[in-house]
Amino acid sequence: MTRPDPDRDLRELFAASRRQEAAQAPPFDRLWQRARAAARSAPARAARRLGYAAAAAGVLAAALLLWRPVFHETEPALEASILAWRAPTDFLLETPGAELLSTVPKLGAETGALFPAALAAGPSENRVD
């Protein structure tokens, strides 16, 4: 004795739905012929894509070659403008007597130049020998 199918109701419903949907299927020949035509044109399409890619790479390479010299020409001008630039507050650093800081002092001559009155007065009374 065979056991009754517990899912018979579902099977019947699905079968009815399948009949409806299968009747809506597009004709096989149409899809098959389209697929065959697409397969035939595939190599040409691939070659065209390769051509586009090569052209794009060529344009990119040419752009890089043309762009590099322009970059080098602008470089020295850029350097000069940086070297010529002066800060507007530089004058604040020019203090009186700043020249002393840039030279090595010499005993005697330099002192006389700085303090001539002291030299003319001769040795001081307070001087201890």
Q: Which is nearer to another protein, 24 or 95 (CB)?
A: 24
User: Does 91 engage in binding with another protein (CB under 8 A)?
Assistant: no
Separation of alpha carbons 13 and 22, rounded Å: 14
Separation of alpha carbons 118 and 126, rounded Å: 13
DSSP string, 2-13: PPP-TTHHHHHH
Minimum Å distance from CB 16 to another protein? Answer: 5
Cβ atoms of residues 50 and 56 within 8 Å: no
Site for another protein in 24-63 (CB under 8 A): 24-26, 28, 31-32, 34-36, 38-39, 42
> Which ranges in 85-94 belong to alpha helices (H)?
none
Q: Which is nearer to another protein, 36 or 115 (CB)?
A: 36
Cβ atoms of residues 11 and 5 within 8 Å: yes
**Which of 1, 22, 65, 93 contacts another protein by CB under 8 A?**
22
Site for another protein in 2-21 (CB under 8 A): 7, 10-11, 13-14, 16-21
Separation of alpha carbons 56 and 67, rounded Å: 16
Q: Which is nearer to another protein, 42 or 54 (CB)?
A: 42
Positions touching another protein (CB under 8 A) are 7, 10-11, 13-14, 16-26, 28, 31-32, 34-36, 38-39, 42
